[in-house]
Amino acid sequence: MSELLQATWGGVLAGSVYGLMAVGLTLIWGAVRLLNLAHGALYVAGAYAAWTVINVGLPLAVGIPAAVIAAGALGYGMHATIIRPMLGRPGWDSASIIATVGVGIALQAAILLIFGPRVKQLPAVVSGSTVISSVRISYQGLVIVLVAVVSLVALFFYLRSSRQGMAIRAISQHMDAAALMGVPVHRTYALVMIISAGLAGLAGVLLSSVLFLSPTSGFTPMIIALLVTIFGGLGSVKGTIVAAYLIGMLEASVQVYLGGAWALPALFGFIIFMLIVRPSGLFGVPEAQRL
């Protein structure tokens, strides 16, 4: 029983953070058709921004918005330097992937140069923990889940009801038609990049208060976020959020019942099986229908 509880709590915690990462990826994919392989670097950049702020002597409560702003600014920079000049050119698919890989490495290398290779850890917002039937639940974990869930719910309603959210959805459905209806395409893309990068930064600062932080620590969360995105159905925000919690649960149960080394292989095995059985993911529309 306590193992099951342990796995559930671990799954909710991991799923919240993966959700933040993966929703960013899926937003960019849905709107711009860009696979952003710099997402992991944005995660790390956000975490280091928060670390800098905290090192100056400010609390983590200031660090979190700092991380979001720093990552969002980098996202805007990516829009201005990569997406804007390249969009619509032939060979966009491959060139854009390469460009994001390049930005990701450059960003990581810059962070390594500035902060050095030593592993860091962010302090907790609130310390202490409570024990519910032999499962230790830290207050910090509760804060993470709370912040993530609030952000995801806010994003969901923002996309559903606000004017800009509707513009994002219109563009992801049909860019040309949306442009003809007067949706400012480039401004909306910039917005998508800022939101997505900001979410990555948020995930970075939240997860780095639990795990350790190093310039390369963004890689695994990015791979898992990619996995979540594909599981949920590329381009579907709702599917991604559901998938994030399912994947988080799966990872946590494998860790609890089989051991930590099996987590990643099990996830990959699961997703390969998933791709064979249902290639469009949980909530995804099959490729042919979307076109």
Rounded Cα distance between 93 and 27, Å, is 16
259 binding another protein? (CB under 8 A): no
DSSP string computed for the chain: -HHHHHHHHHHHHHHHHHHHHHHHHHHHHHHH----TTHHHHHHHHHHHHHHHHHHT--HHHHHHHHHHHHHHHHHHHIIIIIHHHTTSTTHHHHHHHHHHHHHHHHHHHHHHHH-S--B-PPPSS--EEEETTEEEEHHHHHHHHHHHHHHHHHHHHHHHSHHHHHHHHHHH-HHHHHHTT--HHHHHHHHHHHHHHHHHHHHHHHHTTS-B-TTTTHHHHHHHHHHHHHH-TT-HHHHHHHHHHHHHHHHHHHHHT-GGGHHHHHHHHHHHHHHH-TT-SSPPPHHHH-
Among 95, 119, 126, 177, which residue sits at the site for another protein (rule: CB under 8 A)? 95
Q: Do 6 and 141 contact (CB within 8 A), yes or no?
A: no
86 binding another protein? (CB under 8 A): yes
List binders of another protein among 215-234 (CB under 8 A). Answer: 216, 219, 223, 226-227, 230, 234
The window from 42-50, 95-103, 140-148, 192-200 that contacts another protein (CB under 8 A) reads 95-103
Structure tokens at 207: 């997860």
Number of residues this chain uses to bind another protein (CB under 8 A): 47
Among 12, 82, 122, 247, which residue sits at the site for another protein (rule: CB under 8 A)? 82
Number of alpha carbons in the 13 Å side-chain half-sphere of residue 51: 22
Structure tokens at 208: 């780095």
Among 62, 69, 73, 110, which residue sits at the site for another protein (rule: CB under 8 A)? 110
Quote the least distance from Cβ 253 to another protein, whole Å. Answer: 19
106 binding another protein? (CB under 8 A): yes
261 binding another protein? (CB under 8 A): yes
Radius of gyration of the chain (CA): 19
Minimum CB distance to another protein smaller for 63 or for 215: 215
146 binding another protein? (CB under 8 A): no
Quote the least distance from Cβ 193 to another protein, whole Å. Answer: 15
Minimum CB distance to another protein smaller for 39 or for 122: 39
289 binding another protein? (CB under 8 A): no
108 binding another protein? (CB under 8 A): yes
Q: What are phi and psi of 135, to 5 degrees?
A: -105, 125
Minimum CB distance to another protein smaller for 84 or for 136: 84
Contact mark string toward another protein, 1..40, x via CB under 8 A: ----------------------------x-----x-x---
Minimum CB distance to another protein smaller for 63 or for 233: 233
211 binding another protein? (CB under 8 A): no
List binders of another protein among 233-252 (CB under 8 A). Answer: 234
272 binding another protein? (CB under 8 A): yes
Binding site for another protein (CB under 8 A): 29, 35, 37, 81-82, 85-86, 89-91, 93-110, 112-113, 216, 219, 223, 226-227, 230, 234, 261, 264-265, 268, 271-272, 275-276, 279, 287
